Chains A and B, each alone.
Chain A
Amino acid sequence: MALPVSDEFVLSESSPKRSVRVGEYVPYLLAGVFFGVVAIRSEIASWYRIYEMFRFESFHMYGIIGSAVLTAAFSLWLLRRLGVKSRDGEPLRVRPPDPGRYRYVWGGVVFGLGWGLVGACPGPIYALLGSGHAGALLILLGALLGTYVYGLLQPRLPH
């Protein structure tokens, strides 16, 4: 079904339906474990660190975001330079997002309000859940609800 708003990315609706074997998920699962461990050990999942960041009272979070972006940018440059292809022969690339403007500014501000209040973005929500923090359960529930309501209101929002 066509969406009234151009979708954020081209989802794989048109991709050929091939059966996915369980084994194909293992690398993604392990990549997630890696990210989850880093999210806890780096304390980016700690409400305290986020609050401290928004008060500009620690370099920690800024150092993390800055060095993460530089590392990712350098890796992307290197992959392109080496001409690395995916297993099905496609060039590796970061899919460009929808060219809208309003959605990024307004959506960004709404996201930021939530981030500043409960101090967790989606990755950390999952990591906190695994660490057994009760509050993460309600944040995840709220986030699912917010995602659903966005789906309802999408045609009426500026994008």
Chain B
Amino acid sequence: MEWLTHPWPWYVAGPLIGLTVPLLLLIGNRRFGISSSLRHLCAALGSRQPFFQYNWRAESWNLAFVLGIVLGGFVAGVLWANPNPVQLNPQTAAALQQMGVSPDSGFLPKELFSWQAVWSLPGALFLLLGGFLIGFGARWAAGCTSGHSITGLAALQLPSLLATVGFFVGGLAAAHFILPWALGLLR
């Protein structure tokens, strides 16, 4: 049963992710997308802004879906936990070490995601800011990587191509220009 705990190669994982699109269509004609759940959560929490005034209950399949993702994360990350750290390209590992991030602390770097990081002010601000940009950008772009880069591209929708290009432009800028500076502040 080694395959349960060991990482899956791209040619197994990619098609499985792609199959989520027809799966949700077959279950209930739903468009695969995850970031809408954030809007539904705001609406369910009772925001009075016009943007959150709609019948979120009619979209609550999406909340059941993301609850499932949390459970899946527990199953694969805790019950079937991989005992080995992520196997990185040595070049990436060296670059991380130079920036003070351990390249072998498991699934995520402990300097950024551990409780210790969460309880430090710069560490907490870093995560909150990153999350803020993700939530703000995803709603502005009407979707995230699942809704645009997988579903929208597969359905040949031009807006999704624009959004995907945007995702990569932003990601490249963050990884190459902002991250080295931000990690310096976190040290």
**Which A residues are closer than 8 A to B by beta carbons?**
1, 3-4, 8-9, 11-13, 15, 17, 20, 24-52, 54-55, 57-73, 75-76, 78-79, 84, 86-88, 90, 92-101, 103-123, 125-152, 154, 157
Q: A9-B31, A137-B118 are in contact. Are A143 and B50 (CB under 8 A)?
A: no
In B8-40, the 8 Å CB interface with A consists of: 8, 10-31, 34-35, 37-39
* B60 on interface, CB distance cutoff 8 Å: yes
- Chain A residues with Cβ below 8 Å from B88 are 48, 52, 58
A25 touches B61 (CB 8 A): yes
CB distance from A77 to the nearest CB of B (A): 9
- Chain B residues with Cβ below 8 Å from A144 are 38, 41-42, 131, 135
Q: A44-B13, A122-B37 are in contact. Are A111 and B144 (CB under 8 A)?
A: yes
**Which B residues are closer than 8 A to A by beta carbons?**
7-8, 10-31, 34-35, 37-39, 41-42, 47, 49-55, 57-62, 64-78, 80, 86, 88-89, 91-92, 95-96, 103, 107-109, 112-115, 117-118, 124, 126-146, 148-157, 159-160, 162-176, 178-179, 182
B75 touches A36 (CB 8 A): yes
Complex CA distance for A66 and B21, rounded to whole angstroms = 14
Q: A33-B72, A116-B170 are in contact. Are A100 and B159 (CB under 8 A)?
A: yes
- Chain A residues with Cβ below 8 Å from B35 are 121-122, 143, 147
Partner of B127, one of A44, A50, A123, A139: A139
A-B contact count (CB 8 A): 543
CB distance from A73 to the nearest CB of B (A): 4
